[in-house]
Amino acid sequence: MKLAQIKNYLKEPYPYYYEKSDRLLLLLLFISILSFLFSYFFEPFVVNVNEHKISYFWILLIHAFTPFPIAYLYFILLNNSKKDTEIWTLGKEIFHLSMILLVIGITSFLIRDLIYTNPDNWSFKYFWEEIRNTFLIGILLLVVVLPINLERLINKHKASLKEITPINFDSTSHNLIISIKNSMSEDCFELKIKDFLFAKVESNYTEVYTFSTNKIHKTLIRVTLKDLEEQLKLVSHNIFKTHRSYLVNLNKINSISGNAQGYELVLKNSSLKVPVSRSNITKFNTAYSKV
């Protein structure tokens, strides 16, 4: 595989699994148990029992569950700093998991005195060894599990696309003009339904994208995406929330492709793209196929 192909592969969209703390805890618990069982039954590393301060069972347990709080804290901090999950890629997934493995390796080195009697515990040899062993265990996740999961999700979502048939054009609302009202103020925004492409959350505002006079227009309005959705659905059945941050006019979809995160919509008269999250795929298929 050429370097350019590798770069493109690493830019592939990838699901972000770590936003919900309960799911994150279960995922980390599963990985810790799996790591313990793997080390216990296969004994991948040579051990010197004479150096052990505690039983081998407890050593394996410590090494298996030390990553738990490290990874949990790392992802909590990442969640607080990250804005958009739709820009998460396979490369970012690999990078952040590698950083976690590095911290785990360093931590394993720092707690050696609690586990082993070896006088060289603080040597560079064991510093490198702990980091190396951590990556040897984690390499299965980085180079095998992630690519397999990526391909599985891509194939799944591409197969789901076959269930879709294009919608009928909603002519009843085509020429309507609606005044979008801000529930917090007296501000109004005049929006012609036939020009509306999609809307996107931007901090405390919503970016509304329209197409008229042969060009794309972006307007920033102070209204929540939920309020905008409710107002638009009063006059058109072809408004759909594809993602927690996106609202799209189904009439304006030019093409649909599948990736690991769900769908990617390309809109008419533009190169603008809108994501459809995995959790919304079934509802989207129904809405887009509705007669």
Q: Which pLDDT score, from 0 to 100, does residue 202 have?
A: 85
Q: Which pLDDT score, from 0 to 100, does residue 172 have?
A: 52
Task: Judge whether residue 173 has pLDDT over 70.
Answer: no
% of the chain residues with pLDDT over 90:
56
Q: Which pLDDT score, from 0 to 100, does residue 291 have?
A: 45
> Between 104 and 47, whose confidence is greater?
104
Question: For residue 250, what are its two tokens?
Answer: 């189904």
Cβ(64)–Cβ(35) under 8 Å? Answer: yes
CATH architecture of the domain with residue range 171-289: Beta Barrel (2.40)
Task: Judge whether residue 199 has pLDDT over 80.
Answer: yes
Q: Which pLDDT score, from 0 to 100, does residue 109 have?
A: 95
Mean pLDDT, residues 122-136: 92
Cβ(284)–Cβ(240) under 8 Å? Answer: yes
Question: For residue 167, what are its two tokens?
Answer: 């919608």
d(CA 195, CA 38): 57
Residues of the chain with CATH 2.40.50.1020: 171-289
d(CA 40, CA 33): 10
d(CA 122, CA 124): 7
Radius of gyration of the chain (CA): 25
